[in-house]
A = this chain, B = another copy of it.
Amino acid sequence: MARPIRFNAFQMNTPSHQSPGLWTHPRSSSERYLTPGYWIELAQLLERGGFDAIFLADVLGVYDVYRKGPDAALRHAVQVPLNDPLALVPLIAHATTRLGIGVTAALTYEHPYTFARRISTLDHLSGGRIGWNIVTGYLDSAARNLGLDRQLGHDERYDLADEYMDVVYKLWERSWDDDAVVRDKDRGVYTDPDRVHPINHHGRYYDVPGFHLSEPSPQRTPFLYQAGASPRGARFAAKHAEATFISGPSKQVIKQGVDAVRAAATAEGRDPDALLVYAQALIVTGATEQAAQARLEEYRLHVDVQAALTLLSGWTGVDFSRHHLDDTIEYIDTDAGRSALASLSAADPRRDWTVREAAEFIGLGGRGPIIVGDAHQVADQLEAWLDETGIDGFNLAFALPLEDMGAVVEHIVPELVRRGRYRADPPGGTLRAQLLSQGPRLAPGHPGSQVDIASPLPAVRAA
């Protein structure tokens, strides 16, 4: 069949994620993010709909560029308050049997030795359904609260990230042999110490002499997501990521991004088609075109322009409160700007954006397109996006999470199945096996599979 279309659900442990202001909708119950029931209901819906995964974003900081302070973010619930995404993973894992669970964790903010154990634990508890979105951290407010005066420089941050990956690969992939745990009750041997290896890592940023505390989990290394938009970030993603996220308002922008990321993967010696690319989108649908359009109009009434600009200011580092809403946005040369604003304006030659237009654009579903219509119309557009850009699927934002995901499951999934463009009954197994049809371990060509420990022999020995 033609390439299947993949769905990911883009979520965050916060009242309001990518549709600033929509928490004020009469049918919004955003406060349910505090309850297990919400996450379980959502996860079971996604699993029923054959989604690849639920994907949990995180920032560990506040959007405080707009008006040079956090007031607007607090007032409009722009990704604050924000709870720990990792705590949701065991709940979702236990309430589902197949759904992948992708979780964002910024690696500059936790030591790799403790982080590796945290992830191994979740991979065990979920039967190997954990994905990790590798983020190097981009909000200065987070760095300040962690006692760092400022973030590391952008390129240095990626050097640290490369070493961090080296440490966690060693812990996950090399520290325990597959046959290290024997659980031999007769001999009284739980683990054969000859098959457990200290990683002896002594690097520029980290010293980790010992071995991993967790026994090998189903995937060992979690399924790896990354979304690096800068040249250095794209190279990092091309080296490490098994799936990547991309966002932009038009097929042309997205196609450029997909081509670039696959070229970068090729340059790293990896199979470019083995890298899954999801584009951010909001699907607004219903039983009829009229119902879908009516829903979209109703959503637009609740978009909050100030909240949207708070988000946009945080992404780009530009305080948009100093600009008039009718000003045209110029190309902004910051790291984050390249990934956010540049994709709206300079990279899309067909139009200029005013500040207001940009706010209204990202005000519903963030930086991706809104795909609206009845099942036929939406399916047509999804197929066109997939076939014309080379993406593998969509990272679906929401206005009202349960309603929007529910409408996709009710209307869009059956239509795509009819067209032979959706896996109606996806196979179970680990997340990697489901997404790449291989695994559960990293592919042989992946850098995590090739990591070496300084002195693999002799193993851990008593003096």
Tell me whether A89 is interfacial, beta carbon within 8 Å.
Answer: yes
Q: Are A75 and B191 in contact (CB under 8 A)?
A: yes
Pick 21 A–B contacts, CB within 8 A, sort by A. A13-B121, A23-B190, A25-B185, A60-B117, A62-B211, A62-B213, A67-B463, A70-B193, A81-B191, A81-B213, A82-B214, A83-B120, A83-B121, A87-B89, A91-B91, A91-B125, A109-B111, A111-B146, A144-B210, A145-B210, A147-B207
Given the interface pairs A76-B190, A113-B145, A125-B35, the reply to whether A214 lies near B81 with Cβ below 8 Å is yes
From B24, B40, B87, B118, contact of A188 by CB (8 A): B24
Nearest residue (CB) in B for A122 is B87
Chain B residues, CB < 8 A from A68: 462-463
Contact with B along A276-320 (1 / 0, CB 8 A): 000000000000000000000000000010000000000000000
Show the binding face of A for B, using Cβ within 8 Å: 13, 15-16, 21, 23-26, 28, 30-31, 34-36, 40, 60, 62, 67-72, 74-77, 80-84, 86-91, 93-94, 109-111, 113-114, 117-118, 120-122, 124-125, 141, 144-147, 181, 183, 185-186, 188-193, 196, 206-211, 213-215, 304, 460-463
Q: Are B209 and A84 in contact (CB under 8 A)?
A: no
Copies of this chain: 2
In the complex, A282 Cα to B77 Cα: how many Å? Answer: 49
Q: Are A191 and B80 in contact (CB under 8 A)?
A: yes
Q: Are B90 and A87 in contact (CB under 8 A)?
A: yes
Nearest residue (CB) in B for A124 is B34
In the complex, A93 Cα to B34 Cα: how many Å? Answer: 13
Shortest CB distance A136–B (Å): 16
Given the interface pairs A23-B190, A114-B146, A206-B147, the reply to whether A183 lies near B31 with Cβ below 8 Å is yes
From B28, B71, B185, B208, contact of A193 by CB (8 A): B71
Q: Are A83 and B124 in contact (CB under 8 A)?
A: yes
Shortest CB distance A174–B (Å): 15
